[in-house]
Structure 1
Amino acid sequence: MLRSLNRIGILGHVGTGNLGDEAIITAVIQNLRRRCPESEICAFTSNPEDTQERHRVPAFPLRRGRIDSRVAQQTTTADSSRPKAVSRFKSSLKRARPLYRILKATRDCASMTVGVLQELAFIATSYRYVKHLDLLIIAGSHQLNDFVGGAWAFPYTLLKWTLMARLAGARVAFLSVGAGPVSSRLGKQFIRWTLALACYRSFRDERSRDLVSEIGSEGKNLFVPDLAFSLSAPEKHLSRLPSQPVIGINPLPFFDSWYWYKSDDQLYRQYVRKIASAAELAIDNGYAVWLFPTQLRADPLVIEDVRRGMSERYRHHLLNWPVQNFEDLVAGISACRFVIATRYHGILVSLLLKTPVLALAYHGKSKDLMRLLDQDKYVLDAACWDLESLPDLFFQLDRQRRQITEQIALRLPTIRGMLAAQYDAVLGQTLPQSESSAAETFGPPSEDRSIQMISGAEGAIK
């Protein structure tokens, strides 16, 4: 190694039951342990208890408060849950408008003051963990956005930890992260400051790379595919398989009012109805169907809606293969003839396992992912796909399954080679002596080189 990396931290907004994001953390840990077996590894996540249990590394919270691992439930209104006396008192205060406004402003000011003091205390505690690090890795996923929680959620959190790490003398590397949407002026500014402090940064798709360039992030913004592609997937197989071939279907709560950032009940119902019809089509053609989640908190609810949307005579053809962890997910997908997936990592894990997949793309990143593996003709728009177009793609996937598997297998080594080269560059390993200056500044491959590699050109990272 060209530098001492005694302690390495991994930061990710994980711990909420998203198996795709957890696969990213697993992949990073695997690659760090392979290259830096003596280094101490810790994590900063949304749910440290889950991270410690799942990944067997010390973990600390990246935000104040605690992430509730239970699925969000519909609640009654605030007034109906309060004692009637409190509700009457508040109604009386509202009639005295000047007094009510004064008391409300006082409460808001006090709440803000308490929040600031709590945040300062949290930063002081967090800095005690960060000050021992040599490297902080911001690990993949879709972390550069402000559509969830605004500028003070993801953008502020990443700026805070990056700044703490740099003040402590640690290097910061953003590895294959996703970006967007970023719409607020403050969110864009936070992201510009954050990326300016980083020693290395790469993005998992070209849309993300282009977006950060558009908002004014200067310097090299590289394209290196999703970190989950660097995972050594566990070999787990189901002990009992049905006599029929299996098709896996991975839905998500697309436009659902309790989950999606832009809710539309009518579009959600249409999506569920189409997924139910796709499952019925598969069953009519002699397949068993496995409806599977990759987000363990959210997806089971939409899966239940799909079940209810199917005719009764079809439901006994649905397989009940439970998914509690990534190993269960791998075992199920490996048993499928092909997969129809909406979630990004439902698509990616299928490709990683060389399983043909029909992608229902809700975002351009899914289209880019399929194009990366030369599978872009098997993509439908999740918002407006037509049921009439499904049978042709369905049977084409089945007929050409062997050729598709070979196409995927041909592309995967190049992608995994790009990721291996990225780990080596960031960790300062296996680089020629003439390239040592590049390693010292996390010297990456040029983006032209990355594109050439993805196209099948040979060559080592520069």
Structure 2
Amino acid sequence: MIPSVRIGLFGLLGSGNLGNDGSFEAVLGYLRAEHPDAAISVMCGGPEIVASRHEIETIALNWYQGEYRTASRPWAIATKAMGKLVDIGRTASWVRKQDVVIVPGMGVLESTLPLRPWGFPYSLLLLSASGRLVGTKVALVSVGANVSGHRATRSIIGRAARLASFRSYRDEPSREAMREMGVDVTNDRVYPDLAFALQAPSEPVVPRSVGVGVMAYHGGNDDRARAHEIYESYVDKMTKFVAHLVEDGRPVRLFIGDLADHQVVDEIMKELDSPLISAADTSTLDDVMRAMSTVETVVATRYHNILCALKLAKPTLSVGYARKNEVLMAQLGLGEFCQSARDIDVDGLVGQFTELESRAEELSETLAKRGAEQTRLLERQFSELSATFLPMGVR
């Protein structure tokens, strides 16, 4: 009897980032539909959450449970260092059991937010190196990338990418970034973000309602000294924009893209204390899309909040923190409706929002057409993955 194919999924999943989990759920849905006999295992940051949510075999990404907390005491530093060594064997052992390991989307090759080279980049390098060592194919699928300004981070990310057997990127700038970091991208393809493969729900829309996606934004790697100042400025200006909407009598629904964003939601609601403001109760990207389908227009910061709105063909305004936000908006035909989260012009934001609403019907039609094309392209990529890695069901 031919054994079923063994497929591993790898990443910071179940750790609170709804965008990461949404990309994972898109790939899991494809595998369960097209390869129902596959034995699936997940190495991730939140194994208990992923296991309970999807009834699937999981293993922790790191041996040391405090991996992503800052270690200051000597014993914590020593334990964290020991964990790096232990993870070499743990990762190789898990990878050896798989026929192919898929890294489902996410910004695994980028450093647009604060990132330590010996955190997730190191884990990704262990994955790719283990795959080369034991003969398991590693596929980086629709991932995001940028050129890191930190030498160690850039070196680790570049090496991890080079060792992978398959690479595709969610946009052309990501592909170009890896080329600049010395990766041969000749055979690498560009496909849409995996979340475009999720089903789009349809709920009754509340008239004149606005969805506002917020983020606990502290700047990037080079902004650690000013992180609190950047955060306070962002929250203040987003609060002023929400206040403008409330003064206009509009129902506002606040959205998050990561569990850390709850803090911003709480601050805005406490400051304005209005019955017109509510917070969407979401724990998955599917929850976000379902709640977002009830609003007319969206203003958001996190990449996957914006993606959800575009997927739903909602007129959308991006208050973004990275170039990927602008690229996504341009791809879907809304490139002119962007601002920077670092330096928000509240009056300008109000003006852009007014124009956005005045062109709502036209923009929604454009989004529907371009969104359908994104879904078709992802179906093509899934077919390519099946043909490349899973044609016989065994290695």
* TM-score bin, normalised by smaller chain: 0.7 to 0.9
Q: Contact (CA 8 Å) 1:145, 1:155: kept in 2 or not? A: no
Output the TM-score relative to the length of structure 2: 0.87
Q: Could you tell me how far 1:359 is from its partner in structure 2?
A: 0.7
Indicate the residue corresponding to 2:321 in structure 1. Answer: 362
- Determine the C-alpha separation between the residues in 2 that align with 1:207 and 1:152: 25
Indicate the residue corresponding to 1:197 in structure 2. Answer: 163
Structure 2 residue runs of 5 or longer lacking an equivalent are none
Alignment of 1:342 onto 2:301: yes
Equivalent in 381, 385, 403 of residue 344 of structure 2? 385
- Determine the C-alpha separation between the residues in 2 that align with 1:394 and 1:149: 33
Q: Contact (CA 8 Å) 1:6, 1:39: kept in 2 or not? A: yes
Range moving further from structure 2, 375-384 or 18-27: 375-384
Q: Could you tell me how far 1:181 is from its partner in structure 2?
A: 4.9
Indicate the residue corresponding to 1:22 in structure 2. Answer: 21
Q: Contact (CA 8 Å) 1:255, 1:262: kept in 2 or not? A: no
- Determine the C-alpha separation between the residues in 2 that align with 1:348 and 1:291: 16
**SS at the partner of 1:142?**
coil
**SS at the partner of 2:278?**
coil
Alignment of 1:151-230 (within 5 A): 151-220=117-186, 221-230=188-197
CA gap of 1:156–1:377, structure 2 versus 1, over 3 A, is same
Indicate the residue corresponding to 1:326 in structure 2. Answer: 285
CA gap of 1:369–1:398, structure 2 versus 1, over 3 A, is same
- Determine the C-alpha separation between the residues in 2 that align with 1:332 and 1:144: 30
Indicate the residue corresponding to 1:144 in structure 2. Answer: 109
Instruction: Give deviations 1:336-382, integer Å, cap 9, x for gaps.
Output: 01111011111001111112111112111100000010111111222
Q: Could you tell me how far 1:22 is from its partner in structure 2?
A: 0.7
Q: Contact (CA 8 Å) 1:144, 1:154: kept in 2 or not? A: no
Q: Could you tell me how far 1:285 is from its partner in structure 2?
A: 2.3
Q: Contact (CA 8 Å) 1:14, 1:21: kept in 2 or not? A: yes
Indicate the residue corresponding to 1:406 in structure 2. Answer: 365
Q: Contact (CA 8 Å) 1:424, 1:430: kept in 2 or not? A: no
Indicate the residue corresponding to 1:90 in structure 2. Answer: none
Indicate the residue corresponding to 2:335 in structure 1. Answer: 376
RMSD between aligned residues: 3.1
CA gap of 1:353–1:364, structure 2 versus 1, over 3 A, is same
Alignment of 1:301 onto 2:263: yes
One-letter amino acid of the structure 2 residue matched with residue 10 of structure 1: L
Q: Could you tell me how far 1:236 is from its partner in structure 2?
A: 6.7
CA gap of 1:26–1:218, structure 2 versus 1, over 3 A, is same
Q: Could you tell me how far 1:226 is from its partner in structure 2?
A: 1.0
Q: Contact (CA 8 Å) 1:155, 1:187: kept in 2 or not? A: yes
CA gap of 1:35–1:372, structure 2 versus 1, over 3 A, is same
- Determine the C-alpha separation between the residues in 2 that align with 1:261 and 1:225: 31
Q: Could you tell me how far 1:299 is from its partner in structure 2?
A: 0.8
Instruction: Give deviations 1:73-106, integer Å, cap 9, x for gaps.
Output: x9xx98xxxxxxxxxxxxxxxxxxxxxxxxxxxx
- Determine the C-alpha separation between the residues in 2 that align with 1:185 and 1:268: 26
**SS at the partner of 1:286?**
coil
Alignment of 1:42-121 (within 5 A): 42-66=41-65, 118-121=83-86
- Determine the C-alpha separation between the residues in 2 that align with 1:29 and 1:149: 27
Q: Contact (CA 8 Å) 2:10, 2:102: kept in 1 or not? A: yes
Instruction: Give deviations 1:233-283, integer Å, cap 9, x for gaps.
Output: 4x3747xx86x53111111122279xx856443433332222122112222
CA gap of 1:281–1:120, structure 2 versus 1, over 3 A, is closer
Identity %: 27
Q: Number of residue pairs matched?
A: 386
Q: Could you tell me how far 1:329 is from its partner in structure 2?
A: 1.6
**SS at the partner of 1:376?**
coil
Runs of 4+ in 1 over 6 A off after TM superposition: none
One-letter amino acid of the structure 2 residue matched with residue 338 of structure 1: T
